[in-house]
Amino acid sequence: MLAAAVILDDLHPISGLADSKTLTPSRRERLYDEIRAKALCCAVAQASVAEIEQLNILQATLLAMRRAVVGLRLSPKLVLVDGNRLPVLPMQAEAVVRGDARVAAISAASILAKVTRDRWCEDYDRVFPQYGFSKHKGYGTAQHLAALRQHGVCPEHRKTFAPVAELLAGGRRA
């Protein structure tokens, strides 16, 4: 689970920011570099598979969000968070439903998190090419589920994800 936080610089605007899911991979990559170059500061943080298993996906997401905000070298006065839940933060925060499509800084953060995750999946694909991580990016696509059934479970699969839990119940590991 990855989350990012970005403080944009009004003096160096970035055009084309949008919800990362609506952008092509090449556009996300270009914006990633521009965000890193022009933002006042940014941070990407994660919650591990073990933390997701222990806490649950929502609490792990909030933990990653908190880590990203706390990881900023500048402390924001107000944090705008995508969604309808807020992590515990030492400053004022507001939830913005569909914020990744409505607020430039949230769009920028979604791009940083998505590109970082995609790069991680591409790296992990080199370790476990049979799963096709570079294609489906770890989401439960038909291709990914077929690879799980064929090859079993690898260490980065969440054991509480229903298809993985079913395979583990049957003794299938990579």
- Provide the residue ranges of all domains of the chain, joining segments of one domain with +: 2-119, 128-174
pLDDT above 70: residue 156: yes
The DSSP code for 77 is S
**What predicted TM-score, i.e. pTM, was given to this entire model?**
0.89
DSSP 44: E
**CB burial of residue 23 (10 Å; 0-12, 13-18, 19+):** buried
Question: Under CATH, what is the fold of the domain 2-119?
Answer: Nucleotidyltransferase; domain 5 (3.30.420)
Rounded to 5°, angle at Cα 100 from 97 and 104: 120
* Percent residues over pLDDT 70 in the chain: 98
What proportion of the chain, given as a percentage, has pLDDT over 90? 72
Contacts of residue 13, defined as CB under 8 A and 6 or more positions apart, other chains included, come to: 38
Per-residue pLDDT reduced to its tens digit, 63-118: 999 999 999 999 999 999 999 999 999 999 999 999 999 999 999 999 999 999 99
Cα angle: 79, vertex 101, 69; to 5 degrees: 25
Check residues 153 and 45 and name the one with the higher pLDDT: 45
